[in-house]
Amino acid sequence: MSIKCAQSMTKLISASSFLLALILSSFCSLAQSIPSSEIYHHLLQLQETKRVLYVAAHPDDENTRLIATLVNGEHASVGYLSLTRGDGGQNLVGKNLGIELGQIRTQELLRARETDGGQQFFTRAMDFGYSKNPSETLQNWDKEKVLSDVVWVIRSFQPDIIITRFNTSPGGGNHGHHTTSAILANEAFKLAADPNAFPEQLSYVTIWQPRRIFWNTYNFGGDFSPDPKEKYGIFHTGEINPLLGKSYSQIAADSRTMHKSQGFGATAGIGVALDHIQLEQGPSFKTDPFEDVQNRWSEVVNGQQVEKSIEAAIQEFDFEDPSSNINSLLKIRLELSKIQSKNKWVQEKRKSLDKIIFNSLGLKMELVTMQELGYPGEKIHSTLVFNNPSRINISNASIQIYEKTFSGGPDSIVGNTPIEIPVDFQIIQDEKLSQPYWLENPVQNSIYDVRDQMMIGKPFNDLKFGGDLTFQLEGQKFKTAIPLEYKYNDQVDGEVKQPFTIVPEIDLTISDKNVFLLPGNDHEVTITVNFGGEIVDGELGFANLNASEFKIVSEGSSEMPHRKVYKVAFKLVKNEDRKIVAQYKTSSGRIYDQTTNRIIYHHIPNLTYFSPADINVIQQDWKVSKASLGYIAGVGDEVSDVLTSLGYHVTQISDTDFTLAYLSQFKTIIVGIRAYNTNETLVANQELLMDYVKAGGTVVTQYNTTASLLSKNLGPYPFSISRDRVTVENSPFKADYSSPVLSTPNQINADDFKGWIQERGLYFVTDVAKEYSQPLEFEDPNERPSKGSLIYAKYGKGVYIYTSISFFRELPAGVSGATKLFINLIEQ
């Protein structure tokens, strides 16, 4: 507990009755929606004005233990600025990668901040994958744009101190993004106060100089030993907060566990824990990193009166009946309304106070509908539900959507008798789709193209869709934004709410994102045109494609209503790779060319985004056997989908299929990414898999990580997995083109290593037994070359291949040369 919290509690209750008060605070009366101890805790946070900005590079980089302590122990307002959304990482819970993974990890960060109490910010930088040093990082990112975003967040959030997770020294195996985050934070520390730096921002914010910037020092391998030459602030991050009933370590573990796509489930440490922050810039101090930081209440007109009113509410707080605190809370609100400042911290205090009032009354306010998706022009039926379980009267409730106000029901809302107001409206024709704001324009050189300055830094769109609810309470008018939500009951999970989402009236669904036109492979693509309402007359066409290069084989209706289904065949003039976009042109001339993409996981809200209805058409003279393949799942990838598009017959091998008789039906068995990190059945049947190879089969094993490796015996002969990787996607290489895997059945050449995405590979192998050949060598700039991306050996009558090449990225992206190489691996 912080000193201020302890002092406040001492004023309320004696030491002998402290435990009793906590017991009483855990009981919920009708007039509260969270325990009264939490409401009191939020009052202490309302009183405090110090602010901290924590800076790192990715989701899950943040030190949740320190953030939890600063928010809940120091009662500071804490923001976490992650330079990226983690788009370039790996996904432990599904197949989504790239911009889809970025959306997942954004929502996981928001869940983490809801848990530890912080706020979340981002720059426009896109995570392009692992980077070995800041120089490489800033070759991919436009430094001025990312730096301007860091300055923008500092100027708008106005922190007193900044804390970086990493230091500015490259090397030591540190991710280049990590070091870059510290470098940019230290530069922005000074630039934020310079009116000549990014002056275009000053139309919206003022310059700001934080008092100090620190580095959150650590020793991941053991206890941290402070350097006597440096100045440190120390926080006790293992203490228990009695108001919340948790230690800061537990809050931190709960917060970190939200990063489920990265497999970061955490167990809380028990007992004493210390976090050190090392001074980087700014004046020295004695013991408190917030030394000589001004109390903001003393800097605004009427601020001291507000602070006195908060202190009085704290002193008089009623734990047993939180609704009895309303008069003192409304007095704070009245005094706060007299402050004319537009500073962000003042706006935040107003919102926080309203939330405290709502929780003290136990208000339930929701705008719900029976559908999750709607399109511009559609009529929506929804209901405003408002319940006030307290004895304090609320009146004049209404909600405004667009220019229409909906009201009704009794004049008085009181006594746990809910009102329901029908809210039927029509979505306007020019309503924006529910597209994440950073995806509205194409990415430019690993920078999201965000053109609205006020959106930069925000974690997500402000409000997908909803209305403004207003009501009167004791003579004061309240106005709060209420999202429209799809609400239903699930037999297992009970009540479920999902955000209402605006989608196009017409969109397209494509059966295959990659179409391979190969000898003997007459691949037809199914394109479904989906109509939100009645079917609209029109015709299907393609951008970047001549009429002679495609043929609509069939057109018909679907078993599902409001759909038209087309079967399409393609034939290009020459062998090439081409990206085309499907378009549905209505008889009125409107063109619809978007696909609606849905991302659904249990631990985050349903996500929707829109992308061009594009198809990679790849016409080549590759030799493909169309054989039967077995696929052993790892953590999830889309490689098997691509193999099906190539004409192979792919069967997913289940846990009960591990018999030699069953496996022998397959020409090749492919092991999915990180299977030896997660698939215990595979590890238990490793000897059987090698017997399959010995009898004449081919096994292609894709990459695994060094952490949580379930077995070190992955092949018929020994090798080890390292942390080595080649991160430059078009890095120099050497190849033994005479090797069977590079010459049979398709001859690989230098052009096949062009146009790769994000990286060459990761977790390369080392200590390779002499029985393996290593036909490929990749090399990052200024580093020694590595042959660990692909190893190949004959074993008995069969072939074993292990590859660390990032086929799981290259194949779904339609990278032609990588696909050709993977075909060769299969065909051995």
Same domain, 495 and 538: no
- Asked whether residue 810 carries a pLDDT value surpassing 90, the answer given is yes
- Asked whether residue 576 carries a pLDDT value surpassing 90, the answer given is yes
Mean pLDDT for 713-721 is: 97
Q: Per the structure, how many domains does the chain have?
A: 5
d(Cα 566, Cα 559) in Å, to the nearest integer? 13
d(Cα 451, Cα 809) in Å, to the nearest integer? 29
Is the omega angle on the peptide bond into residue 289 within 30 degrees of 0, that is, cis? no
Mean pLDDT for 212-224 is: 83
d(Cα 318, Cα 258) in Å, to the nearest integer? 34
Same domain, 61 and 10: no
Same domain, 44 and 58: no
Please tell me the chain's helix, strand, coil percentages from 3-state DSSP, rounded to the nearest 5: 25, 30, 45
- Asked whether residue 412 carries a pLDDT value surpassing 80, the answer given is yes
Confidence of residue 411 (pLDDT cuts 50, 70, 90): confident
| Inter-residue contact 316 to 328 (CB < 8 Å) | yes
- Asked whether residue 57 carries a pLDDT value surpassing 50, the answer given is yes
- Asked whether residue 549 carries a pLDDT value surpassing 60, the answer given is yes
Looking at the chain, the number of H-run helices and the number of E-run strands are 20, 43
| Inter-residue contact 83 to 41 (CB < 8 Å) | no
> Which CATH number goes with the domain that contains 536?
2.60.40
Question: Which secondary-structure segment (H or E) carries 146?
Answer: helix 143-157
- Asked whether residue 27 carries a pLDDT value surpassing 90, the answer given is no
pLDDT tens, 340-374? 988 999 999 999 999 999 999 999 999 999 999 99
What does the pLDDT read at residue 10?
38
Residue 190, CA distances (Å) to 24, 210, 293 in order: 49, 8, 17
Q: How many Cβ atoms from other residues are within 10 Å of residue 419's Cβ?
A: 16
Output the CA angle 195-201-202, nearest 5 degrees.
Answer: 55
- Asked whether residue 2 carries a pLDDT value surpassing 80, the answer given is no
Output the CA angle 76-456-260, nearest 5 degrees.
Answer: 65
Q: Which residue has the tokens 């509205």?
A: 440
Average pLDDT, the chain: 93
Question: Which secondary-structure segment (H or E) carries 644?
Answer: helix 639-645
> Which CATH number goes with the domain that contains 638?
3.40.50.880
Lowest mean pLDDT among 10-19, 244-253, 418-427, 729-738: 10-19
Phi, psi of 399, deg, nearest 5: -135, 140
Same domain, 212 and 245: yes
What does the pLDDT read at residue 451?
96
Confidence of residue 222 (pLDDT cuts 50, 70, 90): low
* Domain with 7 in it: 1-49+296-361
| Inter-residue contact 724 to 786 (CB < 8 Å) | yes
Residue 281: is it exposed, middle or buried by C-beta count within 10 angstroms (0-12/13-18/19+)?
A: middle
Output the CA angle 666-667-670, nearest 5 degrees.
Answer: 80
Last residue of a domain, one of 619, 640, 662: 619
What does the pLDDT read at residue 30?
36
pLDDT tens, 90-143? 898 999 999 999 999 999 999 999 999 999 999 999 999 989 899 989 999 999
Confidence of residue 8 (pLDDT cuts 50, 70, 90): very low
Same domain, 517 and 414: no
Phi, psi of 310, deg, nearest 5: -65, -45
- Asked whether residue 682 carries a pLDDT value surpassing 70, the answer given is yes
What does the pLDDT read at residue 19?
30
CA nearest to 260, candidates 34, 500, 93, 424: 93
Last residue of a domain, one of 450, 466, 501: 501
CA nearest to 47, candidates 330, 303, 354: 303
Last residue of a domain, one of 275, 294, 313: 294
- Residues 6+ away with beta carbon under 8 Å from 702: 634, 637, 639, 670, 671, 672, 673, 675, 803, 804, 807, 808
> Which CATH number goes with the domain that contains 104?
3.40.50.10320
d(Cα 180, Cα 250) in Å, to the nearest integer? 30
- Asked whether residue 178 carries a pLDDT value surpassing 80, the answer given is yes
pLDDT tens, 236-294? 999 999 999 999 999 999 999 999 999 999 999 999 999 999 999 999 999 999 999 99
Residue 130, CA distances (Å) to 124, 263, 553, 642 in order: 17, 18, 44, 25
DSSP label at 27?
Answer: S
In percent, the amount of the chain with pLDDT more than 90 equals 88
- Asked whether residue 3 carries a pLDDT value surpassing 80, the answer given is no
CA nearest to 109, candidates 87, 128, 94, 130: 87
- Asked whether residue 13 carries a pLDDT value surpassing 80, the answer given is no
Q: Under DSSP, is residue 253 helix (H, G, I), strand (E, B) or coil? A: helix
Lowest mean pLDDT among 20-24, 399-403, 451-455, 607-611: 20-24
Same domain, 651 and 769: yes
Same domain, 788 and 663: yes
What does the pLDDT read at residue 28?
33
pTM, rounded to two decimals: 0.89
What does the pLDDT read at residue 172?
63
Pairing between strand 379-387 and 364-369? antiparallel
CA atoms within 13 A on the CB side of 781: 10
- Asked whether residue 47 carries a pLDDT value surpassing 80, the answer given is yes
Same domain, 609 and 635: no
Residue 590, CA distances (Å) to 180, 536, 586, 597, 610 in order: 45, 11, 5, 21, 17
pLDDT tens, 470-504? 999 999 999 999 999 999 999 999 999 999 999 99
| Inter-residue contact 612 to 507 (CB < 8 Å) | no
What does the pLDDT read at residue 24?
32
Q: How many Cβ atoms from other residues are within 10 Å of residue 298's Cβ?
A: 10
Residue 483: is it exposed, middle or buried by C-beta count within 10 angstroms (0-12/13-18/19+)?
A: middle
Same domain, 413 and 308: no
What does the pLDDT read at residue 602?
93
Pairing between strand 733-735 and 776-778? antiparallel
What does the pLDDT read at residue 354?
97
What does the pLDDT read at residue 18?
29
Pairing between strand 246-247 and 240-241? antiparallel
Mean pLDDT for 526-535 is: 95
- Asked whether residue 29 carries a pLDDT value surpassing 70, the answer given is no
d(Cα 599, Cα 603) in Å, to the nearest integer? 11
Mean pLDDT for 60-87 is: 97
What does the pLDDT read at residue 32?
52
Same domain, 731 and 757: yes
Locate 593 and state its tokens.
Answer: 């060319």
Type of residue numbered 407? S
d(Cα 289, Cα 231) in Å, to the nearest integer? 10
Same domain, 125 and 261: yes
Same domain, 403 and 319: no
- Asked whether residue 31 carries a pLDDT value surpassing 60, the answer given is no
- Asked whether residue 21 carries a pLDDT value surpassing 50, the answer given is no
- Asked whether residue 5 carries a pLDDT value surpassing 50, the answer given is no
| Inter-residue contact 364 to 386 (CB < 8 Å) | yes
In DSSP notation, 372-436 reads SEE-TT-EEEEEEEEE--SSS-EEEEEEEETTEEEE-S-SEE-TT--EEEEEEEE--TTPPP---
* Alpha-carbon 204 to chain mean position: 27
Q: How many Cβ atoms from other residues are within 10 Å of residue 552's Cβ?
A: 13
Confidence of residue 14 (pLDDT cuts 50, 70, 90): very low
What does the pLDDT read at residue 221?
60
In DSSP notation, 536-605 reads --EEEEEET--GGGEEEEEEEE-SSSSEEEEEEEE--SSSEEEEEEEEEEETTS-EE-EEEEEE--TTS-
What does the pLDDT read at residue 173?
62
pLDDT tens, 140-159? 999 999 999 999 999 999 99
